[in-house]
Amino acid sequence: MKYAIALLLAAALPLHAQPPSQFRASAPVEVSGKDALHEVELPFEVFRDARRDLADVRIFNAKGDAVPMAWAGVPPPQLESSPPIELPFFPISTLEAVPGAGAPEVTVRAADGTLVFLKGKQAAATAKSKPRAYLLDASKATERLRGLVFDWQAAPGSEVVNVAVESSDDLKTWSAVGAGSLVRLENAGRTLAQPRIEFAPLKAKYFRVTWNTPTFTLNAVRAENERRGVAPKRHALSVPGKAGSQAGDFTYDLGARLPVETLRLVPAETNSVLSTAIYTREKADDPWRLFATASFYRLQRDGAEVQSPPIEIGRRAARHWLVRLAAGSSAGAPPSMEIGWRGVSVIFVAQGEGPFHVAFGNAQATSSALTLDQLVPTTPTAMNIGTAKVGAVRAGPPPTRWEQIVGEMNPRRIALWTILVTGVAGLGFMAWRLAKAK
């Protein structure tokens, strides 16, 4: 019975917190400032030496206490836009054709639609005619536009100008796209300005601007490009290939179970096109599993080299990759594999005294991470999250085969199996004792 109790206690050990000495690798974590919360990206070695589910990752303080932490999750895309562009503008003295005078004369470059000349032919038009509208040339814009920023000759004091904006691609048919007020207020030496007119993003060659005041003179106008979501930056890694066991097979070892998001094969020779099937596996002795099919190229065109862009593959975590060429494809030397991967970050509480360090590499550890909602107080005041940096990893000996097997199993399942085996062993021992007593 004593042995059974000892086994049960051993099975329960993985369910409790372990001190830093029970983790195979660690790295210093440098916090910035005195904020309570800090975010740190885990080093490359975590994907190589930690458990597959990263349940053994801990943040310790100087005293050796594990501090509260949570997985940061995938950051949302950042909205960015390219710099605004200056638009050429032309004043026009009438919006309608005057009978007997003809319509305004417009000259457009046929190649790209650029407005190069505009002249009014109205009978009433003179050199002193005040502009009734401005025609803006946006034919050079390469992206959709989301607004216009005006610089105009504002009257001294306060001025509010109501402006309407229309768009057209042929200078004949106009559609209203937006309207608003341009504001410039001066008081006690201070100036308040609102020079923007926003509208739903669109692509148009020309804009027409009208207003409701007696005079409105433009100095310049800029167009704002549509804001686009930009994915967080990825790490890049180029991996050389090795010939596989079959003809047309090439294998790649990333060195760790990295969460790959983009992939590209670069043929060793120019003017090559590779049609491939891509396989992955967790360990070197696992069977290969088909993941995707894709084609890659490296060609010469007009004296320059053109390569296929990386393909987006979602998020695939695997260390070993196999590329199998389709019939008719020939690569010669193994192509190199270029991957893009995004790391994993944790947010932790800088509890206790520093220095802090991240530890990992314990096959029997269970996850101690909280949810982000549990870690970050949901108060009306947003909390600042500082950025921490991780230093060089101090690694111990690699895990044994038994530790790798244990690390791939659920610790609670290990405890249940231990209890079951112990019970069976106990019953067998009791049966043996009873048989011996007879």
Query: pLDDT tens digits, residue range 332-390?
Result: 789 999 999 999 999 999 999 989 999 999 988 888 899 888 887 765 445 688 889 99
Is it the case that residue 405 has pLDDT exceeding 60? no
Is it the case that residue 247 has pLDDT exceeding 80? yes
Quote the pLDDT of residue 76.
63
Question: Between 3.40.50.2300, 2.40.40.20, 3.40.50.460, 2.60.120.260, what CATH number should domain 85-229 receive?
Answer: 2.60.120.260
For the chain, where do the domains classified as CATH 2.60.120.260 start and end?
85-229, 235-341
Is it the case that residue 11 has pLDDT exceeding 50? no
- The lowest-confidence range among 21-30, 129-138, 247-256 is 129-138
Is it the case that residue 102 has pLDDT exceeding 50? no
Burial class (CB in 10 A: 0-12, 13-18, 19+), 250: buried
Both tokens of 364, joined, read 């029997």
pLDDT bucket at 206, cuts 50 / 70 / 90: very high
In contact, 55 and 407? CB cutoff 8 Å: no
Quote the pLDDT of residue 416.
67
Amino acid occupying residue 15:
L
19-55 CB burial, b ≥16 within 10 A, e <16? eeeebbbbbbbebeeeeebbbbbbbbbbbbbbbeebb
Quote the pLDDT of residue 301.
85
Both tokens of 57, joined, read 């990752």
Distance CA 193, CA 359 (A): 54
Collapsing DSSP states into helix, strand and coil, what is residue 20? helix
- CATH 2.60.120.260 is the classification of domain 235-341: yes
In contact, 265 and 295? CB cutoff 8 Å: no
**Residue 298 forms beta bridges with which residues?**
272, 307
- The lowest-confidence range among 149-163, 227-241, 334-348, 406-420 is 406-420
Both tokens of 1, joined, read 């019975």
Q: What is the mean pLDDT of residues 99-118?
A: 50
Q: For residues 242 and 110, which has the higher predicted lDDT (pLDDT)? A: 242
> Number of C-alpha atoms within 13 angstroms, CB side, residue 344?
17
Quote the pLDDT of residue 207.
94
Is it the case that residue 77 has pLDDT exceeding 80? no
Is it the case that residue 9 has pLDDT exceeding 50? no
Alpha helices for 93-201 (secondary structure H): none
- What sign does the CA torsion over 63, 373, 42, 412 have? positive
Quote the pLDDT of residue 179.
93
Main-chain dihedrals φ then ψ at residue 12, nearest 5 degrees: -80, -15
- Which residues touch 200 (CB under 8 Å, ≥6 apart)? 146, 177, 178
Both tokens of 213, joined, read 């005041």
The dihedral formed by the CA atoms of 329, 331, 335 and 337, expressed in degrees to the nearest 10:
0
37-41/385-387 β-pairing: parallel
For the chain, give the mean pLDDT: 81
Is it the case that residue 234 has pLDDT exceeding 80? yes
pLDDT bucket at 123, cuts 50 / 70 / 90: very low
Quote the pLDDT of residue 398.
59
